[in-house]
Chains A and B, each alone.
Chain A
Amino acid sequence: MDLHDAAPVLVEGRIRIPYRWPAGRAGGRFLVLLRDEGRLMGLRCSRCRRVFVPPRTRCLSCHVPCEEEVGVGPEGVVVAWTVSRRAPPPAVLALVRLDGADTALLHVLQGVEPTAVRRGLRVRAVLAETRRGHITDLDGFRPL
């Protein structure tokens, strides 16, 4: 048998490693507030005054600490969106800039036809009935 004529031999495998990621100080605070009080927050840079959502402990450009907690949302505006068509039903993913925030949150849009989505669409966060300290405690955003 010639090495070059042989049909390929494929060996299957899978990497199964469970993970547990700390949300950190800023992310933890965001998720706890969402879970326990059903509200959203960001952190403001002390120098440039930008409000980061999700919150960050240090400003991305000024490199100084962000310590001031700011309430944001629950309404906001769609800045970019797409429709995932891989498997039905199509799902609308969007970047939503909550009122009071300077950066946008990635989430899903519910109750809206893909053709009706546009930049600038005003939406409102929907809280999940049971919340556990996870970003899916937000059950997406719906148009106003």
Chain B
Amino acid sequence: MRDPVAIVGAGQTAHRSRRLDVSAPELIDEAVQAALLDARLEPDGIDAVVVGNMEHFEGIHLSDLWAVEGTGGAGKPQLKVATGGTTGSSLAQAAYYLVAGGFFRTVMAVGWERLSDSEGETTTGIVTAFDPIYERPTLAGAVSGLAILACQYQAKYGTRAEEAALVVVQARENAARNSHAHLRQPVTVAEVLASPVLSTPIRYLDMCPTSDGACAVVFTSRPGDGRAAWVRGVSSRHNHTYLGDVTEGSVSYLHTLRLAAEDAYRQAGVADPRQELDVVEMYEPCTWAAFEWAEALGLCGPGEAARMWAEGATRRDGEIPVNPSGGVLCTNPIGATGLIRVAEASMQVRGTAGERQVDGARLALATGFGGSFWSEVMVLAAER
């Protein structure tokens, strides 16, 4: 059977619109040093490194080779895993398997992105994700696919824009307690509804930002006596490529997330996620997605997510806290975002989340989303 794997350290930068004061290796170094400190490890305590970054956003091909100065990977085994929005969660999974497979004892996952390097043109970068023959000439970027999903959800359940807006209102409240988060200013439902429409029904303030930032997480099979977050479930599910194949008619939840979560819950022995999970760090690229994801994760029944938020169940002191870090809606350096979910979930379980700590958290979920609607899930527990 596989070696048990635990997270023993996490570090991240101060995520901002523009980190012009540092080069990418220097930005990465900030997160790496913070993770080493948290894990109480010296650089030579890291046996291998897995890095992630999306090359088109910074215009650097083979960016892992360039960034080795910041990752601490020079002279060490280093892999690059880059899967779009899921990059961060894919990094966590790769680091996990390298340790679980007995290849290395301690592996650091490092994700980063400097979206300001192509500022104003990030949409151009994302547009290149679409097939150049059939989809690129007409699609408008990451929002388009999400908008289609949101339209279908809204059509099915009649959810109002005010209800979706509550997701980002709560996210900002949470981010106010997270000094690493990018967007920390409070926002009101009225402000969200007054913001420009990007693609119906998604408005500007319904959508995640683009950020410059980095994150590093240490996975090991020998945690020693420090506080550890044990990986109890790991799963992902992929999907077809073209938007028409993915949405397959009416889709009001993310089926890859549902399947990945069911697999991870089974591995972790979670029978009732709503009752058993203490905190969820989900990868919600927009407010509407949070409803769809919550239902796919089995946190509530179909069409009930809006009520969950409205009743305060998802607040930090609620029954099923969602994104006490502020989530993706407040911070989004793409190559790191999915890894930040894992980092934040691990901090909750290890009790190191400071002002954003959910009291007594012992079982946490971290999700990743990206590509053509594929999903990744990791379950972390205080017990091995």
Contacts and interface: CB of A to CB of B under 8 A. Distances in A.
Interface stretch (B21-29, B79-87, B266-274): B21-29
B117 A61 contact: no
A56 B26 CA distance: 9
A18 interface: yes
A26 B133 contact: no
A58 B69 contact: yes
Contact of A22 (B23, B43, B74): B23
Contacts of A11: 132-133
A59 to B, nearest CB: 10
Interface in B82-119: 114, 116-119
Interface in B3-38: 19-26, 29
B128 interface: yes
Contacts of A13: 132, 136
B208 to A, nearest CB: 20
B59 A17 contact: yes
Nearest to A62: B43
A22 B56 contact: no
Contacts of B250: none
B209 interface: no
A63 B45 CA distance: 12
Nearest to A18: B121
Given A20-B117, A22-B20, A26-B26, A63 B56 contact: no
A116 B56 CA distance: 40
In which size bucket is the chain A interface? Answer: 20 to 34
B371 interface: no
Nearest to A58: B29
Contacts of A20: 116-119
Contacts of B72: 63
B74 A57 contact: no
Interface string A1-27: 000000000010101111111111111
A65 to B, nearest CB: 9
Interface centre among B25, B75, B128 (most CB of A within 10 A): B25
B58 A25 contact: no
A15 B29 contact: no
**Chain B interface size range:** 20 to 34
A19 B117 contact: yes
B125 interface: yes
A60 B25 CA distance: 11
A58 B25 CA distance: 10
B118 A19 contact: yes
Interface in B101-157: 114, 116-119, 121, 124-125, 128, 132-133, 136
A27 B69 CA distance: 13
Contacts of B114: 22
Nearest to A22: B20
Contacts of B56: 15, 17
A78 B118 CA distance: 36
Given A20-B117, A21-B58, A15 B21 contact: no
Contact of B117 (A21, A24, A26): A21
A16 B124 contact: yes
Contacts of B124: 15-17
Given A11-B133, A57-B29, A60-B74, A25 B21 contact: yes
A57 B74 CA distance: 15
Given A15-B56, A16-B124, A21 B75 contact: no
Interface string B148-189: 000000000000000000000000000000000000000000
Contacts of B75: 61
A17 B25 CA distance: 22
B29 A23 contact: no
Contacts of B22: 22, 24-25
B59 A61 contact: no
Contacts of B74: 60-61
A92 to B, nearest CB: 25
Interface string A48-68: 000000001110110100000
A18 B29 contact: no
Given A11-B133, A56-B69, 17 more contacts: A15-B56, A15-B128, A17-B59, A17-B121, A17-B124, A18-B121, A20-B116, A21-B58, A22-B23, A22-B117, A23-B23, A25-B23, A26-B26, A57-B26, A57-B29, A61-B74, A61-B75
20 contacts: A15-B56, A17-B59, A17-B124, A17-B125, A18-B118, A19-B117, A19-B118, A20-B117, A22-B22, A22-B23, A22-B114, A24-B24, A24-B26, A25-B21, A25-B23, A56-B25, A56-B69, A58-B70, A60-B74, A61-B75
Give the 6 A-B CB pairs with smallest separation, nearest first: A24-B23, A63-B43, A19-B59, A24-B26, A22-B20, A17-B121
